[in-house]
Structure 1
């Protein structure tokens, strides 16, 4: 097979930091090729170079054996490569059709809206994307937005697509639908590079895998010839065991409870209680209501019925500050929009909840903030230049640790975390799950919402939700088959 895309001996530096050191990758025409590595391995930098957003300091990029276009020639780049990022680039305020042909609505000065809608429907039909061309993009699901982005990329003529953590916010059935679409595109000759921290997906959808570690190429192998433990060892430089949950005995006191909670269109009739020293999991599909329930417990959503009690205090519905004052810490689902302020420093983000305690008369003591931030950086092993570094400069795993720092900085007695390990590497997952268990060992109670079965293994019990109701309370020791069967509605 011919090599479709190749990066040779690529070096990229950002000041004193070497992001890529002689890195390479070669992707053959019509294959789905995985790129894996821990956060900070250089994956994102390579993507920026393969898409023409950055110029390598050394080395070269080739498409079908020909040198890459000049960076300024954006049209030439769009004809060669497109990237579907974990964070959607779809503009919510525009229709699907407008997003598909943004800046290409018409070759003339006047836009023919009916013709535009027709072109959009034809494009969507060609790639079997079941979305209304005239629907508002902001009303689409995560899955639908991804498919629209793929169709948009192909409409430029690109036959090479980079998929960056595409399943991070999808549930099981949506992932399978995405994989079906990817297999169909591959049959049509589309070449894909697939970036994921979910190694089981690499084995399911990819033919080859390249591993980066510490800014360097480590290995490229056919997926079928690379055992799972060898792949993990290549990523980490050592054999890494699966996270093992700690044994413990929950206390008797209830630190968080919800009674008869209901929210129209999301869930109804929910009763939940969490004891000191206990981790309670929430599992289910994206439409199960699990995230909405967790966001209600912390005050992000206002339930139509029922009450939430934190440490014996009934919290006003929809009042996040009241929940935090009562002793609750929270790790939101979307760290980019809800977890931190990118332009502010690690120290500022980590100490937001206790700013009032770091000084007098409304003034914050810089030395006290720095000392607190350094303590959190050390306890969570955040890889950073120090408290003054902007969070936006950190890798995904370390940025998520900052979100955890903010949740834990006031030593909460209740911790609610949603998809805490989405988009982070193997070692970061271990650190983040360990942080939850550390808090619980100190006497906190925790609610853990996750689409990852491995995350849920630290739970003392898992409440499985289906169509807005809790259908089963599953004790620790479940098998994947047992839990998935309940999640998919095959057992109650």
Structure 2
């Protein structure tokens, strides 16, 4: 079927009255969504709204309990037919599926190295074929390069090229910008627009609502496992979109002014001439008790490496980190913990959580020794403490014994924050604390950080999010490994963006 212009009116992808349950939990209830060919369709909602479940149905990882999935007006293939699914849909996840120890060429043609007839691999031909594919989609990567040596942006582009090479014309992008800086995001959006112009259909999932307005045509909102809204992006303003996601009036980006921290307040964290070759150099920063200091910059600015040094994950080349008047032994997480430093790392999945352990065990790891003697952990004390954390940090879970792997992104991040604060640290270091979490979870996380600061904890918060930085008493901007600007509260977005891009150096 076509319209008056000759364009197809048959949806490229359609979910029709789909529902999915896991035991007593309704993950998706009677959700329908239709995506037009060649469009970029946004899917938004709070953590736990049902987005991941819907994606699992659209990619054939799960079958709906009710309803149906269709591609180009035809029923989806059986779940067991993985080749047929790969020809219809691909998903570029927030966590890369690239195999780091293989070459780019091997990743592009994984399980297809020998061609369709499964013959012996001809490596020269494989690399030439990979080079042609990369050139076709303007991906500037060496086919022989080790995939693990690629940057985040390059890995994502390789994954997109791999999906298209298998015949898929529908791509799901799950939080593709979560670990990209502003320049890389602009490049990615340019490529997405170019792909859309060639007829590729995309489902774009993001918690960064401003991105929806930059790159998407239509938006669908899920809330509490149900469909709430589908509309052209141009017809839904920011406040209406947040209201649809949360079910309540908005004011989420409003930040109450905090009384300034006086110059006579004691210095809780001191960084003196801190240098790490290849990342940053000559960093001198004091953070006073109760002060929230933000640090931002591009991906190459050195901001993450600086925070990881303070948290003990990296050993500086020279300089010192001090808590109060006491130097902290460098490059040691146990030493940082003992000195009173709590850390929320950049990657909660790889560095922040132990997925096979429960919420209670993850949240109380640093203080488990206080729940008993001689290595014994009293189960009752563990559960009671974990329940208090669940209540204090608004963690939505079945209970303390639930596996942390069962949590949505926002609730998992709250567990990481609860653990960092479990020792009542003198210093709290956070790296992109709200990346990949929904609007309401952001407010809950940032509220907990402000509450910690109000009790005297010094906070060093590295973030790319302007809404995170608004909670800070001052913001330091790093550029090529150095602090190039210090902005007091009340800065404008233009001030920060200009400094990040090196305009006012």
Shorter-chain TM band: over 0.9
2:42 matched residue in structure 1: 34
1:275-300: per-residue Cα shift (whole Å, max 9, x none)? 00100110100000000000001110
1:367 matched residue in structure 2: 380
CA distance in 2, matches of 1:432, 1:14: 28
- Kindly indicate whether the alpha-carbon contact (under 8 Å) linking 1:212 and 1:218 is maintained by their aligned counterparts in 2: yes
For residues 295-444 of structure 1, the aligned pairs below 5 Å read: 295-444=308-457
1:55 paired to 2:55: no
For residues 145-184 of structure 1, the aligned pairs below 5 Å read: 145-184=155-194
- Kindly indicate whether the alpha-carbon contact (under 8 Å) linking 1:311 and 1:327 is maintained by their aligned counterparts in 2: no
- Structure 1 unmatched ranges of 5 or more: none
1:465 paired to 2:474: no
CA distance in 1, matches of 2:378, 2:357: 17
CA distance in 2, matches of 1:355, 1:216: 39
1:452-476: per-residue Cα shift (whole Å, max 9, x none)? 0110001111110000000011111
Moved more, 246-255 or 159-168: 246-255
1:480 paired to 2:488: no
1:316 CA drift (Å): 1.0
1:452 paired to 2:465: yes
CA distance in 1, matches of 2:285, 2:150: 31
1:249 CA drift (Å): 3.0
1:98-118: per-residue Cα shift (whole Å, max 9, x none)? 000011001344211111100
2:136 matched residue in structure 1: 126
* Counterpart secondary structure, 1:212: strand
Moved more, 318-327 or 51-60: 318-327
1:208 matched residue in structure 2: 218
- Kindly indicate whether the alpha-carbon contact (under 8 Å) linking 1:374 and 1:386 is maintained by their aligned counterparts in 2: yes
Q: Tell me the TM-score normalized by structure 1.
A: 0.99
1:227 CA drift (Å): 1.5
1:23 CA drift (Å): 0.5
1:2 CA drift (Å): 2.9
1:234-270: per-residue Cα shift (whole Å, max 9, x none)? 1111122133334123251111111111111101111
1:441 CA drift (Å): 0.2
* Counterpart secondary structure, 1:135: coil
- Kindly indicate whether the alpha-carbon contact (under 8 Å) linking 1:301 and 1:318 is maintained by their aligned counterparts in 2: yes
- Kindly indicate whether the alpha-carbon contact (under 8 Å) linking 1:310 and 1:323 is maintained by their aligned counterparts in 2: no
2:260 matched residue in structure 1: 249
* Counterpart secondary structure, 1:120: helix
1:355 CA drift (Å): 1.4
2:4 matched residue in structure 1: none
CA distance in 1, matches of 2:120, 2:176: 36
* Counterpart secondary structure, 1:3: coil
1:103-155: per-residue Cα shift (whole Å, max 9, x none)? 10013442111111001100000001111111101100011000000000000
Moved more, 86-95 or 355-364: 355-364
CA distance in 2, matches of 1:137, 1:272: 36
1:277 matched residue in structure 2: 290
1:191 CA drift (Å): 0.2
1:19 matched residue in structure 2: 27
1:102 matched residue in structure 2: 110
CA distance in 1, matches of 2:260, 2:429: 19
CA distance in 2, matches of 1:45, 1:8: 14
1:54-107: per-residue Cα shift (whole Å, max 9, x none)? 000000000000000001110000000000000000000111000000110013
* Counterpart secondary structure, 1:411: coil
1:371 CA drift (Å): 1.1
1:25-54: per-residue Cα shift (whole Å, max 9, x none)? 100000000000111110000000000000
Q: Tell me the TM-score normalized by structure 2.
A: 0.96
2:78 matched residue in structure 1: 70
- Kindly indicate whether the alpha-carbon contact (under 8 Å) linking 1:346 and 1:373 is maintained by their aligned counterparts in 2: yes
* Matched residues, number: 492
